[in-house]
Structure formats: structure tokens, C-alpha cells
């Protein structure tokens, strides 16, 4: 390929599946490049990455990286994002978006270690993921080349793709033969399904597209009560038991899955300009968001909380659009992290058939003061007379305006 003719060595984000195996081969044959593979355990639900390693070996990958990045994923990406209560377009918890910069970071690091001049990913030319992979890579290495084979290759149909695979002896699972492309993504935070049966926004998603939760209707008819402990804005324990970030999120996922929590069927606006419909499942994240908001409700000052709410949509948009490594995201993170120093304490929740119900929150750093708010005698903590001046001065400009408007 003329376009990539100078590329000698590529680091490929490699899942071991059919599509990225085709890409691996295509990079070797069409570009004549050496390929380094990177396969990560992001908590996508694949227990064993050894088959991917063996497949990469078999296909002639020059160097093979297989890594468990689950703790890094949760500590350095998921938790910082949850400190912001980030939600895109009012509903989406950014489960796919947040994993992309991590993968790019590893690709770029491996490129440096192995002397590769390019990285490659398996995202299509219609989605957000290409943007996220590539912006992250550019921000981390301005000279890196990023190859997106789906945008470049000449295959015109699924059939041509499979023919290429067959020709190069890439094993094709039986059930893949007749399947149209169908996008699924998964990691420790969420799984998503897009395309095919979901493309009619009026049709209800069939039950089988769900990958990691039972339906609220099928969840047990009993309440599960848990307590999540927080420190500096991050969850650190469940029911008093300290857990590492990834272990904690995995435990919340189990609790969410069993109780039908975290399903979402939405139509979202992609950065590349069109609307798309997706079914997302974020069981643990949904619980975590509710709990984080609850612990903030007693430990965060109003000014801090409202500033966070005001900038949140922008922060979420930056992550959605792939600007994790942009300075404005880092500036907002500095603002957010500054607010979390005293966000600590416990939140008690009931999980029940799709519901996450906060039933209590407590903290050594609580700003809730019963003596101020009580209807009972407050022993002078609050002077109701102050309210009169407060209201009068807040209203002064409105009165001035009203007088002006009636012609005074």
C-alpha cells in the first residue's frame, strides 16, 4: 500500500478473534510490515489469553505482548472518571470510551520498546473508537503512524474479507460464516451491543443481545443490601472488606448482574456526526455512580458540587470524543481531584430488580449538620432573621428591574 509504504513494524491491538487476525495478516501481506501484537485483559470476560498468544505466534507475529491491565484500567481511568460522575448525554456511563486511551497508551509504549513506527487498531471508519485510539496515540507520540485497516483496505463485503481469511488459513469459527458484522465491546466496566437487530430505534432489543446482566424481570425477588466505603472519592471497600480497584468493580458487577442492574438502551450522538443506537450494560458502574453521588452529597460543599455538575457534561464529552490525553481533560481532572480530598465514608444501598436504592450515607467528614436544619430547637445554630436580609439583597436587583419595567 503506497500510503503506508514506509512502515516497517506495526504494533497491533490484537484480540485473537477473526477480525484482528485478518488485520494481522493484512498488515504482513499488504504492507510487508512486521507485526507486534498486544493483547490485554481489560476484564472483557475472556478467562485465558493464552489462545490469543498462540494464535499470534502461529500467524508469525514478531513479538507478542499479553498483559493483564485490569487494575491499571480501574485505578487510572475508571475511578478518575467516576470522581466526576461523568455521564454522556444524560445516560451513558462511557464504558467503551474510557478503555480506548489505555489501549493506545500500551500500543505506543510497546512501539517505543520494539522500535515500531506504527500502531494499528480494528475499529471501523464510522465509529468513535477510531477517533479515540488515534487521538490518544497522537497525543502520546506525535510521530506515530496509526493504521486503521477498516478504512484502508479494498474489501468490499464480508465475503471478500472471509475469502481473504480462508486464503491465508485463518481459522473461521462456524457461526461466523454467515454473520454480518456486528459490534460488541466489553471490558470490566461495561459491555455494549450495536448494529443489526438494534438498528430500528422503535424495536425493543431482544433479550439475547444482553451479555452480562439478567433482566430486572428475571432478577430474584429479594433485596440485596450492601455498604460501599469511599476514600478520596474512590470506592475502597464493600461491606467493610477492603478490595483492590479491579476486584471491587468486579464484585459490583456480580452484584449488579444478579440484580438486573445497569441496562441501558439509548440513541447517542457520535463524534463523527451521526446518531447510533446501542444497548449497554454497566452493572457495577451503575451502582458505583449512585453510591459516589450519595457520599458526595454529605461530604462535598455546595459550591464544589455545583461546579462539578456544571463542568461534568463537558468532561464527559471530552472522554466520549477521545480527548483523554488533551490538556483540557487534564485541567478538568485537576479541578475534580481537588474536590475529592474529603469524599470519604460509607453508603448503604439496596439492590433490587434493576433498582439501586440509597438508604443511608455517613462520614467522619460529613458537612450535614442536623443542628442547622432541624425543625426542632437548634440552640442558636441558625438565626432565621438572617434569611430576611439574605432574601432582600438577592431580590434587590429583581425589584429594581421590576420597577424599571413598569416605567419607574
Among 174, 178, 334, 379, binds its own copies (CB under 8 A): 334
Rule CB under 8 A: which of 227-256 touch its own copies?
A: none
Of the listed pieces 93-101, 109-117, 124-132, 233-241, which binds its own copies according to CB under 8 A? Answer: 124-132
DSSP-based three-state secondary structure for 128: coil
Rule CB under 8 A: which of 286-325 touch its own copies?
A: 293-294, 297-298, 301-307, 309-314, 317, 322-323, 325
Answer yes or no: is 40 a known binding residue: yes
Catalytic residue among 100, 263, 329, 361: 100
Answer yes or no: is 285 a known binding residue: no
**83 in catalytic set:** no
* Minimum gap (Å) between residue 384 Cβ and its own copies: 3
- State yes or no: residue 328 binds its own copies (CB under 8 A): yes
Catalytic residue among 41, 129, 342, 346: 129
Please name which of 250, 272, 258 lies closest in space to residue 186, comparing C-alpha atoms.
250
Of the listed pieces 34-42, 96-104, 178-186, 233-241, which binds its own copies according to CB under 8 A? Answer: 178-186
Rule CB under 8 A: which of 153-172 touch its own copies?
A: 157
- Quote the CA–CA distance of 46 and 51 in Å, as a whole number: 10
Among 8, 54, 151, 177, binds its own copies (CB under 8 A): 151
Straight-line distance from the first to the last Cα atom of the chain, in angstroms, rounded to the nearest whole number: 77
Backbone angles phi, psi at 296, to 5 degrees: -65, -35
State the pairing for strand pair 118-120/145-147: parallel
Q: What is the side-by-side order of every strand in the sheet holding 145-147?
A: 63-68, 34-41, 9-13, 118-120, 145-147
User: Cβ(253)–Cβ(283) under 8 Å?
Assistant: yes
Angle, to 10 degrees, between the axis of helix 158-167 and the axis of helix 18-30?
70
- Quote the CA–CA distance of 289 and 377 in Å, as a whole number: 36
* Minimum gap (Å) between residue 325 Cβ and its own copies: 7
**183 in catalytic set:** yes
Binding residues: 13-21, 40, 92, 97, 122, 124, 128-129, 132, 183, 192, 268, 280
Annotated catalytic residues are 19, 100, 129, 183
Amino acid at each position: 500500500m503506497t500510503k503506508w509504504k514506509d512502515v516497517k513494524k506495526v504494533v497491533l491491538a490484537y484480540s485473537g478473534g477473526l477480525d484482528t487476525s485478518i488485520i494481522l495478516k493484512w498488515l504482513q501481506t499488504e504492507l510487508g510490515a512486521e507485526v507486534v501484537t498486544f493483547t490485554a485483559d481489560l476484564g472483557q470476560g475472556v478467562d485465558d489469553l493464552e489462545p490469543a498468544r498462540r494464535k499470534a505466534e502461529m500467524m508469525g507475529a514478531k513479538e507478542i505482548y499479553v498483559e493483564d491491565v485490569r487494575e491499571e484500567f480501574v485505578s487510572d481511568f475508571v475511578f478518575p472518571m467516576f470522581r466526576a460522575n461523568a455521564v454522556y448525554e444524560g445516560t451513558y456511563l462511557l464504558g467503551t470510551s474510557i478503555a480506548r486511551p489505555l489501549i493506545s497508551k500500551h500500543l505506543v509504549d510497546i512501539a517505543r520498546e520494539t522500535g515500531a513506527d506504527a500502531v494499528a487498531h480494528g475499529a471501523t471508519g464510522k465509529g468513535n473508537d477510531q477517533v479515540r485510539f488515534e487521538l490518544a496515540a497522537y497525543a502520546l507520540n506525535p510521530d506515530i503512524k496509526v493504521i486503521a485497516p477498516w478504512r484502508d483496505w479494498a474489501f468490499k463485503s464480508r465475503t471478500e474479507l472471509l475469502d481473504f481469511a480462508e486464503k491465508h488459513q485463518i481459522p473461521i469459527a462456524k457461526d461466523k460464516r454467515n454473520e454480518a458484522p456486528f459490534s460488541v465491546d466489553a471490558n470490566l466496566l461495561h459491555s455494549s451491543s450495536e448494529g443489526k437487530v438494534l438498528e430500528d430505534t422503535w424495536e425493543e432489543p431482544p433479550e439475547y443481545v444482553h451479555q452480562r446482566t439478567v433482566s430486572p424481570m428475571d432478577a430474584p425477588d429479594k433485596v440485596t443490601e450492601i455498604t460501599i466505603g469511599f476514600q478520596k472519592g474512590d470506592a475502597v471497600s464493600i461491606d467493610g472488606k477492603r478490595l483492590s480497584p479491579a476486584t471491587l468493580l468486579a464484585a459490583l458487577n456480580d452484584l449488579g448482574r444478579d440484580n438486573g442492574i445497569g441496562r441501558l438502551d439509548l440513541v447517542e450522538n457520535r463524534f463523527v456526526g451521526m446518531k447510533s443506537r446501542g444497548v449497554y450494560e454497566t452493572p457495577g458502574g451503575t451502582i458505583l455512580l449512585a453510591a459516589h453521588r450519595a457520599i458526595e452529597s454529605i461530604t462535598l460543599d455546595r459550591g464544589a458540587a455545583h461546579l462539578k455538575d456544571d463542568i461534568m457534561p463537558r468532561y464527559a464529552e471530552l472522554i466520549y470524543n477521545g480527548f483523554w490525553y488533551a490538556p483540557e481533560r487534564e485541567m478538568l481532572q485537576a479541578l475534580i481531584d481537588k474536590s475529592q480530598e474529603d469524599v470519604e465514608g460509607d453508603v448503604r444501598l439496596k439492590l433490587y430488580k434493576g433498582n439501586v436504592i440509597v438508604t443511608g450515607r455517613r462520614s467522619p467528614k460529613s458537612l450535614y449538620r442536623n443542628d442547622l436544619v432541624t425543625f426542632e430547637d437548634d440552640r442558636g445554630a441558625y438565626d432565621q432573621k438572617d434569611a430576611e436580609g439574605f432574601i432582600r439583597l438577592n431580590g434587590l436587583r429583581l425589584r429594581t428591574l421590576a420597577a424599571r419595567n413598569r416605567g419607574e
